[in-house]
Amino acid sequence: MTQLGGARLAVPVGERDHVLGPWVAPVTLVEFGDYQCRQCGQAYHIQNALERRMARRLRIVYRHFPLSVSHARAEVAAEAAEAAAAQGKFWQMHALMFENQARLDDAALLGYAAHLDLDPGRFRRELGERG
């Protein structure tokens, strides 16, 4: 386990995580989130405010935790974020989905991918590989 300011992570922050901010920041915030969860959407806005206020002193880590039983589009949204990450645009897709939580249908996700100038064929293939 990793000790971070009194809290322990069973899986330490590593290269596979989505990290925003410096690796050596004195404060690390790890969110296990769901793009369709209303409370996660509220946390997203709070994190943005913290990031602006703390700047280089904060490292934000996002880990997917889709609650598919409660949120029908949560898993596909997480997969869309990973498909965007494969093209270097995780945080941009992350922001679009949290800012548009009511629109996580396939057409919207493809629209977000187009807005981010992602390769549409690759994006569709990676979403199609889920299953």
Domain limits, the chain: 2-128
pTM as predicted = 0.90
pLDDT band at 7 (very low <50, low <70, confident <90, very high): low
Lowest mean pLDDT among 5-19, 29-43, 63-77: 5-19
SS (H, E, C) the chain: CEEECCEEECCCCCCCCEEECCCCCCEEEEEEECCCCHHHHHHHHHHHHHHHHHHHHEEEEEEECCCCCCCCCHHHHHHHHHHHHCCCCHHHHHHHHHHCCCCCCHHHHHHHHHHCCCCHHHHHHHHHCCC
The whole-number pLDDT of residue 88 equals 97
**CATH architecture assignment, domain 2-128:** 3-Layer(aba) Sandwich (3.40)
pLDDT digits (tens, 9 = 90+) for 75-128: 999 999 999 999 999 999 999 999 999 999 999 999 999 999 999 999 999 887
Q: Which long-range contacts (CB under 8 A, 24 or more apart) does 52-55 make?
A: 54/27
The whole-number pLDDT of residue 18 equals 97
d(CA 131, CA 98): 23
